[in-house]
Structure 1
Amino acid sequence: HIQGVVPNTDAMAALAQKNYGTATAMIMVLGMLFNIVLARITPLKYIFLTGHHTLYMAAMLAVILSVGGLSPFWVILVGAVILGIMMVVSPAILQPFTRKITGTDDLALGHFGSTGYLLSALVGKAVGKGSPSIEEMQVPKSLNFLRDSSVAISLTMMILFVILVLVAGKEFVESSVSGGQNFIIFAVIQSLTFAAGVWIILAGVRMIIAEIVPAFKGIADKLVKDAKPALDCPTVFPFAPNAVIVGFLSSFAAGLVSMFLCPLFGLSVIVPGLVPHFFCGATAGVYGNICGGRRGAVVGAFAHGLLISFLPAILLPLMGDLGFASTTFGDADFGVVGIILGHVVSLFN
């Protein structure tokens, strides 16, 4: 009997808050305060502004520490300290690469997938010597419309979704998923809806970069001199739209391969989720590309896809009762922190 698990960090955080809500909230608030303190007294001048990821990491820390048998006071204290440290370390390890991507030192990446992006950048560096950037790809004039990332994402998703509904079968899709709508039309509409959602995110990212950096400077000068805002992963998408699509596809391909690899190691089958592979895989593609061009984008994102398939599988047994919920935390840092912390806590019990 092999258990299949779809990693979804949003769903996992919601489940965790049901059982560990108080601890999660306290860890989040204290962790954010600790982030400001660390930014003020250490050279790591990053203020982590990705609120939902702060909440998710707080939820995971609450689960791991509670399952490990710590008292509520220690769960909150240890959790807040670890969260605060992660909020400055995560942007810091990526900053040399983020600086190259954005062309400025005013921004950082605040997203708990940083170990995956770092892996992608390092793999890209190793394999991509002399490989040109994927953004310089010569597209035939007849395919120039693909240079618009919304069009490219729509078409990519359309192909993917149509394949998926064909595999699932007409009867299943129309009876269980699409509410009676024709299964091919359903796939096409879903792919366009997905692309529209990504377009809205990117429009928001451009607005937030234009607005938040100047606003942040004012706050930073009062609280933390020279502080840098660490923003969500789509911040880097507009800088390398081709790498976004290639990174997603390569990471997703690695997720499909991992479905067959995980059982060989006695692990649960991790079904590749679209959300972690799209957002994290795309970001990994951007980091792989900046260090190793086309080859870096493909191979770096593939390595990232393997990482975010194996880490959730190893993390699963450490999640206590939540480990049976057929979902788990998807992004790389949750796996790294959760696995290390879970094993450290178990040494004391």
Structure 2
Amino acid sequence: MFILETLNFVVDILKVPSVLVGLIALIGLVAQKKAFSDVVKGTIKTILGFIVLGGGATVLVGSLNPLGGMFEHAFNIQGIIPNNEAIVSIALEKYGASTALIMAFGMVANIVVARFTRLKYIFLTGHHTFYMACMIGVILTVAGFEGVGLVFTGSLILGLVMAFFPALAQRYMRRITGTDDIAFGHFGTLGYVLSGWIGSLCGKGYRSTEEMNLPKNLSFLRDSSISISLTMMIIYLIMAVSAGREYVEATFSGGQNYLVYAIIMAITFAAGVFIILQGVRLILAEIVPAFTGFSEKLVPNARPALDCPVVYPYAPNAVLIGFLFSFLGGLVGLFLLGQMKLVLILPGVVPHFFTGATAGVFGNATGGRRGAMIGAFANGLLITFLPVLLLPVLGAIGFANTTFSDADFGVIGILLGNLARYLSPMAITGLVVALFALLVAYNVLAKNKKATAEVQENSGAKE
């Protein structure tokens, strides 16, 4: 009992991004033998940056929830809204112990994978690690795994996933940030990579979302806070009018005039984005130098994989464009699901903001404005259809009417769920271990090949 309580305490610490990244910064700064004052300053500033980012996200989500409610009421649509937090909270009642163990050992597995393979990425988005650990734990338990086998296999799968998805996104992160120092750690990666790929196909030659030619009297729109406020004001006012005065004032505004409330919520949304951007800038200034010390000691040449808002400061206009076009993709997806007589997946405003905004930045990096629009639209379709395919897997294990919202959860859940249907627990463990062994072998062979080439080059130079 004491061990489980201790483990839950550790997991509660690790799933809080600010504390997790603060610990990494602390270890890195101590490893570099920095002065005590620098260690304290760097650690606190890193934690502060994540708390500012989290505060901005809370402000933003608080402004988006009424928008979703107005949309559902105005158009009287019934369906499932994918939500990571909702399904995890249900699952933890029965699978809490396995989730905690898989998360704790999965983070160790991530370091092992990064150390011994070419996937040199340390995933630092604690809450997403927690959600993925929960989903893996549930699916494997129902597949017949238990005890040490459950924790070992689940942790190794989680460690591989935590290294693989940042590696998949890194070519686009280099385009976005202009450096190779920061990686991307958020389990919506497939949607963002899809957006970046689409941008490279259809947007070559298109100017960035950040390059706007405006007449002098409209030059104030170059300020992303102003343009976001005005755009969201139009959307909120349309939704408030569509939902009706009585509904908005009774349900959300507490009697405040519904139009005034809509305007305030729109500007609150922009304030949330502004706070997030400030938090990210604070984090980037501290985590990169601190992480160098951490990686030099444990995983040479590793990169920190950070949450999706890390890319927002590089293209603030693409953030808004991505959100709007991803939500549009969700609406089109909803219509198509209705025509196909499938389960209706309602476009959740919060997941479409965070994943759509990120997809917009990725699409913009490779294809400018057109890439941001079409790429984010594709992301909206993807996170509408993947939950439909994931529902049978989750429904079979007792989670009806709820599902995960981000793309990578859908793909990993569908893959694991179907493996569990056709393979024994022993076969699944063997498959995962074999995959890890192949990655290690490839790394060893690549190193040997590089060393041989260097020896030949040096001997040739001497001759």
Establish whether TM, by shorter chain, passes 0.5. yes
> What is the CA-CA distance between 1:131 and the residue it aligns to?
1.9
**What does the per-residue CA deviation read over 1:306-336, in whole Å, with 9 as the maximum and x for residues that have no partner?**
0011111211221136532x44211110111
Match runs of 1:69-148 below 5 Å: 69-148=144-223
| Correspondence for 2:399 among 296, 300, 323 | 323
The runs of at least 4 consecutive aligned structure 1 residues that moved more than 6 Å come to: none
TM-score (norm. length: structure 2): 0.72
| Correspondence for 2:235 among 139, 143, 160 | 160
- Contact in 1 for aligned 2:175/2:366 (Cα 8 Å): no
Say if 1:44 and 1:173 are closer, same or farther in 2 by CA, change over 3 A.
Answer: same
- Contact in 1 for aligned 2:121/2:167 (Cα 8 Å): yes
Match runs of 1:10-89 below 5 Å: 10-89=85-164
- Contact in 1 for aligned 2:359/2:376 (Cα 8 Å): yes
Given the alignment of the two structures, is residue 314 of structure 1 paired with residue 357 of structure 2, yes or no? no
Taking the aligned partners of 2:217 and 2:93, their CA distance within structure 1 comes to 53
Which amino acid counterpart does residue 85 of structure 1 have in structure 2?
L
> What is the CA-CA distance between 1:220 and the residue it aligns to?
1.1
> What is the CA-CA distance between 1:81 and the residue it aligns to?
1.4
Identity of aligned residues (%): 58
SS at match of 2:80: strand
In structure 2, stretches of 5+ residues that fail to align are: 1-76, 425-463
Answer with 134-143 or 336-345: which moved more: 134-143
> What is the CA-CA distance between 1:143 and the residue it aligns to?
2.2
Match of 1:223 in 2: 298
> What is the CA-CA distance between 1:144 and the residue it aligns to?
2.2
> What is the CA-CA distance between 1:218 and the residue it aligns to?
1.0
**What does the per-residue CA deviation read over 1:82-133, in whole Å, with 9 as the maximum and x for residues that have no partner?**
1111111111011111011101101011111111011111111111122222
Which amino acid counterpart does residue 76 of structure 1 have in structure 2?
V
SS at match of 2:399: helix
Given the alignment of the two structures, is residue 339 of structure 1 paired with residue 433 of structure 2, yes or no? no
TM-score (norm. length: structure 1): 0.94
Match of 1:203 in 2: 278
In structure 1, stretches of 5+ residues that fail to align are: none
Tell which structure's C-alpha radius of gyration is larger: 2
Taking the aligned partners of 2:185 and 2:79, their CA distance within structure 1 comes to 30
Taking the aligned partners of 2:177 and 2:120, their CA distance within structure 1 comes to 18
Match of 2:80 in 1: 5
Structure of greater relative contact order (alpha carbons < 8 Å, 6+ residues apart):
1
Given the alignment of the two structures, is residue 181 of structure 1 paired with residue 256 of structure 2, yes or no? yes
Taking the aligned partners of 2:308 and 2:398, their CA distance within structure 1 comes to 27
- Contact in 1 for aligned 2:110/2:122 (Cα 8 Å): yes
Aligned-pair RMSD on alpha carbons? Answer: 1.8
- Contact in 2 for aligned 1:115/1:332 (Cα 8 Å): yes
**What does the per-residue CA deviation read over 1:37-87, in whole Å, with 9 as the maximum and x for residues that have no partner?**
011111111111111111111122123223444335443332211111111
**What does the per-residue CA deviation read over 1:148-178, in whole Å, with 9 as the maximum and x for residues that have no partner?**
2222222222222222222222222222233
Which amino acid counterpart does residue 399 of structure 2 have in structure 1?
G
